[in-house]
Structures are given as C-alpha cells and as structure tokens.
Amino acid sequence: MAKRSTLYIIGVFLPIWTFLTYTFCKEVFLVRKCQNIDSLYTKYSQRVKEEYDSNRRRNYFPEIKLPRNSYDDDTLNYTRQDDICQTYPRENATILMLVRNSELEGALDSMRSLEDRFNNKYHYDWTFLNDVPFDQDFIEATTAMASGKTQYALIPSEDWDRPQWINETLFEDRLREMEDKGVLYGGSKSYRNMCRFNSGFFFRQSVLDNYDYYFRVEPNVEYYCDFPYDPFRIMRLKGKKYGFVITLYEYEETIPSLWDAVEEYLETNEGSILNKEDSAYAFLTDSGLVGKYYPIVEADSDYNLCHFWSNFEIGDLNFFRSDEYKNFFETLDAKGGFYYERWGDAPVHSIGVSLLLRPDEIIHFDEIGYFHSPFGTCPASHTIRLDQRCRCKSDDESAIDITPHSCLMRWWKNGSGKYFLKETQRQV
Ligand SMILES: Nc1nc2c(ncn2[C@@H]2O[C@H](COP(=O)(O)OP(=O)(O)OP(=O)(O)O)[C@@H](O)[C@H]2O)c(=O)[nH]1
Ligand SMILES: [Mg+2]
C-alpha cells in the first residue's frame, strides 16, 4: 500500500506539482520582465512627451525667448497661434509666379510645398504670368493645386521683348562672347527678357494693380518648414517693404558695368539726394572682413556683388511702383546692360532696395526654410526646426547662411542685422 502511494506521488503528483510550480514561476518571471519593459517604455515615452510638450507649451507662453538665430524677437511672438478652428485674416497680397507652360511639374511641386507649409491656412490668390498664353493643362492643374483663387495673365510684348533701341549687332556680338566664355545663361535671349521684366515690369502688370504685396515663387523650389506667421502681415504691421531669405555674391562677369551705371544714377538729381547713411549702401560696398570671411571674389568696382536672391522675395508693390524705383530702373535700363551684358533682376532689385529704402524696411525672414537649387537655408535653432516641422538641417551641404558664399553676415553687420554685431560696430 505504502509502495503504491509512493509510486503515486512520484508518478502523478510530483510531475503535476513540478509543472504547476514551473508554470507559476515562469509567469511571475515573465510578468516581472514585462513590467520591467513596461516601465522602461513608460519612462522613455514620458521623456519624449515632456520634451515635445515643452515645445508645444511654448505656443501658450509666447513670451519665452527662443534660442534662435534671429535679431527680431517680436516676429515669432506676435504670431504664436492655436491652429485649430482658427480663421486667418488675409492681407491685400498675392503669390506670384512667372513661369512657362513647360515648367508645369516644377510649378506644381513649388505650389504643393507652399500650400502645405503656409497657404492652406490663408488661401491667398495665386497670380501666374507668362510671355505666351497659358495652356489649358497648366491652368487646370495649377487651379486644382491652389487653395486660393488663381489668375493667369499674358505679359504684353512691350514689357517683355527686346526694345527697338537695342543695337542688334552689338547685342549678338556680346551674346556670343558671353556664351564662349561659358557665362551661365550668357547666350540666352529669353533669360535676358526675363531678367529685365523682373527688374522693371512685373509690378506694372495690370493684374497686380489692386494688390499691395507679392510673394515671388519659382518652379522647383521647396519650403522646408511650416511658416510660423503670415509674412505679408509681418510686412504690413512692421512697415517692411522687401523681404528675403538668402543673400549671396553675384557672378561679376554678368554685370561688368552695372555699378558704373549705379554711380551715374547717384549723380543724377534723384540719386544725388539719397543719404547713404540712411540706406543699406554699406551692405553693397563693404568688402572688409566680416566674421571669418572676406568676399569670395575681389570685385573690380566698389560693389561687393552682394545681392538678395530674388527667386524668393516678398515685396511691397507700392515701393516698386513708386517714381523713385521706376526712375532708378529706367536710368539703368537706358544703358542697355540687360542685353549687352546679362544683368540679373536680383542685383538690380537688391541695389534698388538698398539705396532707396531704410535698412529697417528690409527684412530677413530667418524662420523660413527654403531651397532653390543649389542653395538652401534652414533655421539654425533646433527648437524652431521641431516646432515648425522642418525637414532640413542647418548644416546641410546646401545650407549657405554661414559659409563664405553668403552675404548674410555682411547684412547683419551693415543692414538691419543682429544686435550684437551692431553693438560691436558702434563700439569700434
Ligand atoms: N514665361 C516665362 N517664364 C520664364 C522664362 N524664362 C524664365 N522664366 C521664369 O522666370 C523665373 C526665373 O527663371 P529661372 O530659369 O528659374 O532662372 P534662375 O533661377 O536664374 O536659374 P535656374 O533656376 O537655376 O534655372 C522662373 O520662375 C522661370 O519659370 C520665359 O522665357 N518665359
Ligand atoms: Mg530658378
């Protein structure tokens, strides 16, 4: 009997007991392990949440000073807004694109990006300009992409084509010379029309008559970050007349005599009354050491070749429509340099605004991330890049701001730039 019960214990009870004990311990161990993993995950997610919440919280406490690469503390603070259920007031402004039918894909890429990053909240109108009529495909696709109204205008021949008074023989000779030298777009006739149009005629198009501000957009560009504000509103509230994101040096071979023409303009009745101290003249002529850099090329004239890259610009149309700017443009145009050389609209606009405006009427939008091949700009502050969902790094290969190719530091020093540089200047 005792033998039977021993056998029973060994054969039945012990395996069951072992199995149950094993299962129980395993469960306990697993639960523990899971709890450990759980608490690990909880810890991680709490850390991430806190980190990101602190970003979000900034929206509710706009007075907090961001560690940002900016000289204007008010721009961001003014606009921190809760996006949900918000209606956004609009300024009297339009987005403006001069573009060819053949550039439809690139135009849509740029539109998609700007709509996503800015305009889907505001629904500003899109105005398209062309020297030939837009085709149906272009109109249909761009209208579908826009969140605002679209309008399409044909540029009159007298605002686009080469004027009669251009000496055709000289023009053809110079074109060939520049092409042989390998100057970028040196042999292109249409590029010259485009540059002259953008310098002196875009603002005269009747389709723009009723607007105060424009935002120039080109095909194939990208806006890297959400806009933290409506730049048009900043322009109006702060009395700005010209806004840029990138500034760099021009190829001197495209403008050999542009500065001579500017100097002649400065001798005219209108030019001679300008006060160089009240303008950003020094931004155009300072060729000393700024930060670590001298200008990348030593220019032949007093112009240091710095210009605002005009493929991105936000401007006050009333400034361009003013007699002062028109007179400045017409004095230059009469020299024929848009055709005999290859003057770009970027240096012409830049010299115009630097001479005719006060430095504080020009704004560097340093929270806007932007790319036009081959250069880009990306906000320097990590918190801004998270806050504005940027998809760029400020040390990307294409990021130009703090490189020898950029004139930004020269702007900080001579324009309405960073206060600490301005202070240094004053002390010197
Ligand atoms: N309608 C029209 N638009 C033009 C013409 N040439 C240039 N454009 C537009 O004018 C703007 C500037 O021309 P781009 O070819 O981009 O000149 P760029 O920016 O100096 O040079 P890349 O962009 O590097 O080619 C763009 O918006 C073009 O679409 C033209 O002949 N007709
Ligand atoms: Mg371009």
Q: Give the number of the atom of ligand 1 that is nearest the alpha carbon of residue 190.
A: 31
Residues 6+ apart with CB under 8 A from 316: 212, 213, 235, 240, 241, 242
Residue 219 Cβ contacting ligand 1 at under 6 Å: yes
Residue 97: nearest ligand to its CA?
A: 1
Q: Counting atoms of ligand 1 from 1, which one is nearest the CA of 344?
A: 20
- What is the predicted pLDDT for the residue at 410? 95
**Per-residue DSSP letters for 49-116?**
HHHHHHHHHTTT-TTSPP--S-S-THHHHHH----TT------SEEEEEE--GGGHHHHHHHHHHHII
CA–CA separation, 101 vs 135, rounded Å? 7
Report the residue count for the chain: 428
Catalytic residue, from 313, 341, 361, 367: name it. Answer: 313
Helix or strand or coil: residue 181?
Answer: coil
The pLDDT score that the predictor gives to residue 30 is 61
Task: Compare 246 and 421 and report the one with higher pLDDT.
Answer: 246
Asked if residue 390 and residue 264 are part of one domain, the reply reads yes
Q: Are residues 35 and 108 in the same domain?
A: no
Ligand 1, from 95, 98, 183: best to mutate by most atoms within 8 Å of Cβ?
A: 98
- Distance from the Cα of residue 10 to its chain's centroid: 82
Cα distance between residue 162 and residue 74, in whole Å? 45
Atom number in ligand 1 closest to CA 373: 24
Q: How far is the CA of 85 from the centre of ligand 1 (A)?
A: 38
Q: Indicate whether 205 and 248 sit together in one domain.
A: yes
Band (pLDDT 50/70/90 cuts) for residue 428 is very low
Question: Looking at 10, 26, 57, which one is the last position of a domain?
Answer: 57
Return the percentage of the chain with pLDDT > 70, whole number: 83
Residues 6+ apart with CB under 8 A from 259: 301, 302, 303
Whichever domain contains 89, its CATH number is 3.90.550.10
Do the domain assignments include residue 62? no
Residue at which a domain ends, from 17, 32, 57: 57
Question: pLDDT category, 158, cuts 50, 70, 90?
Answer: very high
Q: Is 146 in the pocket of ligand 1 (CB under 6 A)?
A: no
- Same structural domain, 158 and 228: yes
The neighbouring-strand residues paired with 406 are 248
DSSP state of 376: E
* Ligand 1 center to 76 CA (angstroms): 32
pLDDT at 33: 64
Residues 284, 158 share a domain: yes
Residues of the domain holding 30: 1-57
Q: 207: which DSSP letter?
A: G
Closest to 160 measured CA to CA, from 129, 206, 187, 138: 129
What does the DSSP 8-state code read for residue 117?
Answer: I
166 plus 130 within the same structural domain: yes
pLDDT at 165 over 60: yes
Q: What is the pLDDT of residue 85?
A: 53
Same domain as 331, residue 407: yes
Q: Which ligand is nearest to the CA of 103?
A: 1
> Is 80 exceeded by the pLDDT of residue 252?
yes
Cβ of residue 254 lying under 6 Å from some atom of ligand 1: no
Q: What is the mean pLDDT of residues 32-52?
A: 67
* Substitution site in 95, 97, 100 for ligand 1 pocket (most atoms within 8 Å of beta carbon): 100
The pLDDT of residue 227 is above 90: yes
Residue 358 in domain: yes
Distance CA 121, CA 114 (A): 11
| Reported confidence tier of residue 24, pLDDT bands at 50, 70, 90 | confident
Q: Please name the residue whose Cα sits nearest to atom 3 of ligand 1.
A: 99
Indicate if ligand 1 lies below 6 Å from the C-beta of 354.
Answer: no
pLDDT reported for residue 360:
93
Mean of the pLDDT values across residues 153-160?
98
375-377/313-316 β-pairing: unpaired
pLDDT category of residue 297 using cuts at 50, 70 and 90: confident
**Dihedral sign for Cα atoms in the order 345, 221, 386, 377:** negative
Residue 63 within a domain:
no
Q: Which of 23-32, 39-48, 261-270, 352-361 has the lowest mean pLDDT?
A: 23-32
- Are residues 269 and 227 both part of a single domain? yes
Residue 66 lies inside a defined structural domain of this protein: no
Q: Is the distance from the beta carbon of residue 130 to the nearest atom of ligand 1 less than 6 Å?
A: yes
Same domain, 115 and 27: no
- The reply to whether 65 falls in a domain is no
Residue 129: its H or E element: strand 125-130
Give pLDDT tens digits for 320-375. 999 999 999 999 999 999 999 999 999 999 999 999 999 999 999 999 999 999 99
Instruction: State the Cα–Cα distance between residues 370 and 224, nearest whole angstrom.
Output: 5
User: pLDDT grade, residue 52 (50/70/90)?
Assistant: low
- Residue 182 gets the label, from left (phi > 0), alpha (psi -120 to 50) or beta, of left
Domain count within the chain: 2
Residue 246: inside a domain? yes
What is the distance in A from the centroid of ligand 1 to the CA of 49?
Answer: 45
Does the active-site annotation cover 222?
no
Question: Does residue 374 sit within a domain?
Answer: yes
Residue-by-residue DSSP string for 268-329: SHHHHT--GGGTTHHHHH--S-BTTB--SS--SSS---EEE-TTSEEEEHHHHTSHHHHHHH
pLDDT at residue 405, as a whole number: 94
Give the pLDDT confidence score for residue 426 in this predicted structure: 39
Phi-psi bin for 311: left (phi > 0), alpha (psi -120 to 50), beta?
Answer: alpha
Average pLDDT taken over every residue of the chain: 88
Residue 69 included in any domain: no
Give 420 Cα–ligand 1 centroid separation in angstroms.
38
**Do 263 and 345 belong to one domain?**
yes
218 CB within 6 A, ligand 1: yes
Residue 79 has pLDDT above 70, yes or no: no
pTM, 2 dp: 0.82
Q: Mutual orientation of helices 258-267 and 323-333 as an angle, nearest 10°?
A: 130
Judgement on whether residues 84 and 216 belong to the same structural domain of the protein:
yes
Do 122 and 4 share a domain, yes or no? Answer: no
